[in-house]
Structure 1
Amino acid sequence: MSTKWRIAAWLVVVCVALLGGCSDDDTVDLTAGSGANSLPTDNSEAEPEIPDDLTDTPLKVVVLVIDSLMPDEIGTNTPNLLALKQSGTFYAESRAVFSAETIPNHVAMMTGMYSGRSGIPTNNFWDRDAKPDTPEAEDLDNPNELEAKTLFTHIDEQCRRGNNPPNPRFSTAAVLSKTYLYEIFEGDAADLQPNDAGIVNLAPDDHWDPRSSKGYIDPGFEYTPDDFTTPQVIERIPGADFLFVNLGSVDRVAHAFGAAARAGQILSTDTHVGEIVEALREGGEWENTVLIVASDHGMDFSDQLGIGDNISVQATLDGFAECGYEPMLAVDNGGTDSLYISNPDATPASRQNTLETVRACLSEPNGQTCTRVRSMCGGLAFLPPQVEHILGAWYTAPNADAPPGNLPGSIAASAHPNLGDLVLAADDGFNFGEPVGVANPIPGNHGHPVTFHNTMLIAGGIDFIHRGREVTASIPGPTPFDRLPEQSENIDIAPTIAWLLGLPLAEEDFADGQTFDGRILAEAFKPFDQDPNAPAPAYCGLRRAAL
């Protein structure tokens, strides 16, 4: 069943520790320059040539995801995060993928793909393939639903297999505070059952299970707080060349106690960020480390009781079914709602008629179509009073007969059957709760456009990072739906890491013959200042002497 937050009584520990020794050697504030737009690929069938200048020094990459952190929450009250921002490259306009939720955005980071290709568009869904006769919501944390290779799989295939692997000692690890994140990256290899895309993904070499912690909170929260997660991160720093981390307390505390408690938790989490950086320094690895700090999405605080601004459409869908339209199931995901036609035998014409009619009434309740249906169906009294606060109602498969209902172009690449047949997005300050409005009683939601804006900065002790650089928007006041060339997105993390580590990827290494949807975040790295096709500073994680 879908995860719902049960409010627990637990205390937020607030403490602050300063991050010492983080210098800013480049304080120029620049907009994005030109750079590589995508991962260079070798389309030949020949084996990649191993450089002859490899050293024994590994280049370490750490991705630190602070769940739901918003860019404007980094400031003087977060000295460790502020020091990283000032000593690295900060992207002022960064975007989560749609739906702006935890699982799809962590998957985007590790695959470099929008959910239309990865198969993971939401936190919750109806598994129509596995359970066609039992329409119900459940977490989208099944790795067999993941239709793209992760970086963990790419690293193993490119660098550790074959008779003469370039770097058989290449080690990966993940410390993810939430159970469903642990599960989505658990891999298929345990039973060697590929998913529908024919992929067998691998788990990280060291895959920490948050349920093993004495601090694990369950039921409802299903995560381990940062106080217990951070020591697990520090423990794995010496042994991991690539480390993927999620600190979940900023998000979970906000959902439990609201905005004021969240502000206190950010201070505590900032302290943990300082502890992680200090561990890298003390271990002598900071000079060879690239640290990417990101968030999966932002946060939108609705009514603190979580009731007055809650939208439910299941009763509306049931009313349509009673009026002769196809039955539908609504699965809420905070700021979005996925609507599925639940009759597997529905004809294409009946499906289209139902989707077009439902969309018309939810997006234009006083329009011509809905007025006609309201008269035909005895008044259609089952429309929710908050229907005017549905920002968008979009088909997940393009509809040539009703193009205004298609997904906006900037998020259309997230369309996938797992997203439903019709997806709704809420206005700022509103959220969905199914099957009734009180089903989503938590403060703070995400998924909808107001929460697209996320955090992205690239720091570390490596010598080729731009210091004190801020990549700003090329137009004033970009909207959540804008996708500007200089913006970063969560899909950019995987191709950036692939370049850093020197993974010799070609198009045939991807299940669908395409490369990453994202781009290398070239603005952060000095080699791209002179060469838009700058060679990677490492090969399979080993630093190159010439670079």
Structure 2
Amino acid sequence: MIIPTYEMINISKKHHQRHNHFKLVVFSFDGFRPDYITVERTPNLYDIAKNGVQGIMRSTFVTKTFPNHQSIVTGLYEPYHGIVNNKFIDPLTKQPFSVNNDSWFWWDQHNISVPIYIANQYYESNRYSISLQWPGSISNYTDGYHLDHRERVHYLENYQSNVDFFHLIDVLMKWLTDPIKPANLAFVYFQQPDETAHQYGPFSDEVYEQVQLIDKVVGYFQQQLLKMNLAHLTNVIYLSDHGMSEIRSERSLYIDKCDKYYPGLKYELYGSSPTWSAIPISAPKLSSQKSSELAKSVRDALNDCSHKYYNGKFSVYLQEEIADEFHYKNNIRILPLFIISEEGYDVNYKDVGYRPKGYPIWGNHGYNSSLPSMQPLFLAKGPRFKTSYSHPIPFENIDLYPLMLNLLDIPLKHFPTTNGTFEHVHQMLIYQLYLNDDKFTMSLNVFFYLISGFMIIFLAGFCFVCISGRIEKNYLRNSIDSSSSSSTSKRLINYLKKISNGQQNEQRYRMFANERPTSHLDSSDDDDDNNGEDELFNRNRHQQKAINKNQLTDIDWDILGTGLDIDLVGQLKNETSNGQNIVKRNEYLDISSDNTSDNNDNVDRPSSKSKRKNEIISLLITDDDDDDCNNMNDKEIKIKINNEEFENLISETNVITNNNNKVIE
């Protein structure tokens, strides 16, 4: 009991050092809308939504694939980690971004991005993370403090356009159960149904087939968890990066016409529909704006063109004019101008002849993240998540970063650089540890110290009771065996008085011949007394008097050491209402139970041989108990008794002692 108490005291101290036994797996299904889930189409995901956690999550803006995947794992808005679109340019290097470029220059623009799969490995050396096709995991990252050291995810499989989804699950389970370096965190990316929805539209049969395939993969994963005995240890999050909107051919806009309507207007576009970033080159010739306000001149010309020729279906903003709710400014990669179309419209510079497979219907995303069509999927299930819970508070995908840190038992204070807020999502957990709260840690310490103190007091009391009982049980024997003065006899009598008051019917005390006290004689029992023989005889008569429960303390304790074997409790139990004489057996006195009767005075005197033995015993006892310096030694005793009697008595005493020792054992 002491060991677990000690461990409880140190739980909060060692909490950040122990290896977390829960695993976390995050699946991303690109472009998966929450309304794809039905009991008939997706029974596995439907069961998770019904029995696990579901919530209303909001993507970061712009609602594109690569920026949102990087925001999910870093907890940062897009201008902070630097992936501002699927396609963009860095104005300093004039180089375009490519998703296959593993340079941290692109994925960690400001050296502050610490993806959760990297934080997991930095936090403890025996933690390993998995990335299966997750965008951005090909790069290396710092821990947010030491910029001279970067690390990659331990288990990595790069993106493959034709990969078998069930193969991804097999690889995932292999790394989760690796016998030497088992991973405790995994991020898995599926490019469907986004890839199909771009071609056929979000509500096409082709997309629904991909949705059903995704559901089968989820079912296969759950079976593998059960097979590997990991279901009760694995928290799983099923999400998407964004939603999907339907586009029709009549809603496709080509803004190169504006160049004809506004001669001299020039600009460069970077991005993809429906969001573009632009660098102004020249203003219209008829523009009244000064050259120092080139960006405003181009903005005004494009907005005017939109209202006159496109019914205002796209808008142009200076970067600083972008609404704060989008958290999409203050980054040079966004460029001076930003163009976005209304929901359901595509905007491109000119028609290059490309047509999707489902033309005249296709799908696209990138619009305002608050639109229902852009809402991503969020489901969760596992030992740390509530069951049958619908989270009532809308949250952003950046809030998942502190949530995942909590699921991994990583204090937020170790990786504080995040735009996410744990308070937006913690209600979906069965229990949550505010690992970044020192007050919580202090409260935890106080709680464990109180529990430990109570346990120590309880154990001390328990041990005291046990030891006291042991002392009480052995007190009589210890008192008898001690070689103290006659005060021992007084303490013994007082102790027996105490016992007789409360424990007369429960305690049994048995005196053996070899357990005689060393100081049972007082000054009146000195061997020099000529009446020693009569005194012993009188004692025997006194000891044979009947005693009842209330007379227990009147026993003459001088009988101790004379070889009497007395069973007080047995005599008390056998005592009748009229009283019964105590029967004593003296190893040296020829007194048997046949000599006792109701008349206490009717006792035969011992024989002459017995008298001689009593005289010898009295000499031995007096010699052993006398505290004076003039004790008789064995030689002096042998003077008074012949050698033969002395040797016979010693031999007889040893036999009795050995027999009594056997009884004790």
Q: One fold, TM greater than 0.5?
A: yes
Give the direction of change, closer, same or farther, for the CA distance of 1:505–1:470 in structure 2 (3 Å limit): closer
1:423 maps to which of 326, 330, 338: 338
2:140 maps to which of 188, 200, 204: 188
| Distance in 2 of aligned mates of 1:173 and 1:202 | 13
1:330 maps to which of 269, 279, 283: 269
Q: Show the counterpart of 2:587.
A: none
Contact 1:88-1:467 at 8 Å conserved across structures = yes
Contact 2:275-2:367 at 8 Å conserved across structures = yes
Give the direction of change, closer, same or farther, for the CA distance of 1:65–1:352 in structure 2 (3 Å limit): farther
User: Which deviations, in whole Å up to 9, do the C-alpha atoms of 1:440-469 show, x marking residues without a partner?
Assistant: 747211001244311112212x1x421111
Structure 2 counterparts to residues 55-454 of structure 1, below 5 A: 58-76=21-39, 77-91=41-55, 93-131=56-94, 139=99, 142=102, 143-147=104-108, 148-160=113-125, 169-176=126-133, 181-182=134-135, 184-188=136-140, 201-211=150-160, 216-217=161-162, 224=163, 226-238=165-177, 239-258=182-201, 259-303=204-248, 307-314=249-256, 316=258, 323=264, 327-341=266-280, 353-365=293-305, 385-386=309-310, 388-390=312-314, 392-396=315-319, 398=320, 406-413=321-328, 416-436=331-351, 438=353, 441=356, 443-449=362-368, 450=371, 451-454=373-376
1:341 shift after superposition: 3.5
Give the direction of change, closer, same or farther, for the CA distance of 1:204–1:532 in structure 2 (3 Å limit): closer
User: Which deviations, in whole Å up to 9, do the C-alpha atoms of 1:64-120 show, x marking residues without a partner?
Assistant: 1111111111121211111111122111x2111011011011101110010121111
State the TM-score, normalized to the length of structure 1. Answer: 0.65
Give the direction of change, closer, same or farther, for the CA distance of 1:530–1:366 in structure 2 (3 Å limit): closer
- Counterpart of 1:119, as a letter, is G
Q: Percent identity?
A: 17
Task: Report how many residues are paired.
Answer: 404
| Distance in 1 of aligned mates of 2:280 and 2:196 | 35
- Counterpart of 2:107, as a letter, is L
Q: Show the counterpart of 1:378.
A: none
Local SS of the residue matching 1:249: coil
Contact 2:107-2:139 at 8 Å conserved across structures = no
- Counterpart of 2:191, as a letter, is G
| Distance in 1 of aligned mates of 2:122 and 2:67 | 23
Structure 1, 309-318 or 498-507: larger mean CA deviation: 309-318
Contact 1:152-1:202 at 8 Å conserved across structures = no
1:352 shift after superposition: 6.5
1:437 shift after superposition: 6.1
Local SS of the residue matching 2:193: helix
2:402 maps to which of 495, 502, 506: 495
| Distance in 1 of aligned mates of 2:80 and 2:274 | 22
1:314 shift after superposition: 4.9
Give the direction of change, closer, same or farther, for the CA distance of 1:98–1:515 in structure 2 (3 Å limit): closer
Q: Show the counterpart of 1:3.
A: none
Contact 1:67-1:250 at 8 Å conserved across structures = yes
- Counterpart of 1:209, as a letter, is N
Give the direction of change, closer, same or farther, for the CA distance of 1:454–1:263 in structure 2 (3 Å limit): same
| Distance in 2 of aligned mates of 1:137 and 1:314 | 24
- Counterpart of 1:73, as a letter, is Y
Contact 2:57-2:378 at 8 Å conserved across structures = yes
| Distance in 1 of aligned mates of 2:62 and 2:75 | 15
1:300 shift after superposition: 0.8
Give the direction of change, closer, same or farther, for the CA distance of 1:434–1:302 in structure 2 (3 Å limit): same
Local SS of the residue matching 1:301: strand
1:501 shift after superposition: 1.1
Contact 1:337-1:424 at 8 Å conserved across structures = yes
Give the direction of change, closer, same or farther, for the CA distance of 1:84–1:366 in structure 2 (3 Å limit): closer
2:428 is aligned with 1:524 = yes
Give the direction of change, closer, same or farther, for the CA distance of 1:465–1:329 in structure 2 (3 Å limit): same
Which one has more relative contact order, counting CA pairs under 8 Å at least 6 apart?
1
1:318 shift after superposition: 8.7
| Distance in 2 of aligned mates of 1:361 and 1:263 | 42
Q: CA RMSD in A?
A: 3.6
| Distance in 1 of aligned mates of 2:148 and 2:403 | 22
Give the direction of change, closer, same or farther, for the CA distance of 1:72–1:244 in structure 2 (3 Å limit): same
Contact 2:200-2:363 at 8 Å conserved across structures = no
Give the direction of change, closer, same or farther, for the CA distance of 1:173–1:415 in structure 2 (3 Å limit): same
Give the direction of change, closer, same or farther, for the CA distance of 1:310–1:522 in structure 2 (3 Å limit): same
State the TM-score, normalized to the length of structure 2. Answer: 0.55
2:378 maps to which of 450, 456, 467: 456
| Distance in 2 of aligned mates of 1:96 and 1:122 | 13
1:438 shift after superposition: 4.3
Contact 2:245-2:374 at 8 Å conserved across structures = no
| Distance in 2 of aligned mates of 1:408 and 1:78 | 38
Give the direction of change, closer, same or farther, for the CA distance of 1:119–1:314 in structure 2 (3 Å limit): farther
- Higher helix fraction: Structure 1 or Structure 2? 2
| Distance in 2 of aligned mates of 1:365 and 1:523 | 48
| Distance in 2 of aligned mates of 1:255 and 1:155 | 34
Give the direction of change, closer, same or farther, for the CA distance of 1:312–1:200 in structure 2 (3 Å limit): farther
Q: Show the counterpart of 1:465.
A: 385
**Gap regions ≥5 residues in structure 2:** 1-10, 283-288, 442-450, 452-665
Give the direction of change, closer, same or farther, for the CA distance of 1:286–1:199 in structure 2 (3 Å limit): farther
Give the direction of change, closer, same or farther, for the CA distance of 1:55–1:517 in structure 2 (3 Å limit): closer
Local SS of the residue matching 1:244: strand
Give the direction of change, closer, same or farther, for the CA distance of 1:158–1:71 in structure 2 (3 Å limit): same
| Distance in 1 of aligned mates of 2:222 and 2:105 | 35
Give the direction of change, closer, same or farther, for the CA distance of 1:270–1:67 in structure 2 (3 Å limit): same
1:57 shift after superposition: 5.8
Local SS of the residue matching 1:355: helix
Contact 2:130-2:175 at 8 Å conserved across structures = yes
- Counterpart of 2:426, as a letter, is A
Contact 2:268-2:281 at 8 Å conserved across structures = yes
| Distance in 2 of aligned mates of 1:518 and 1:358 | 38
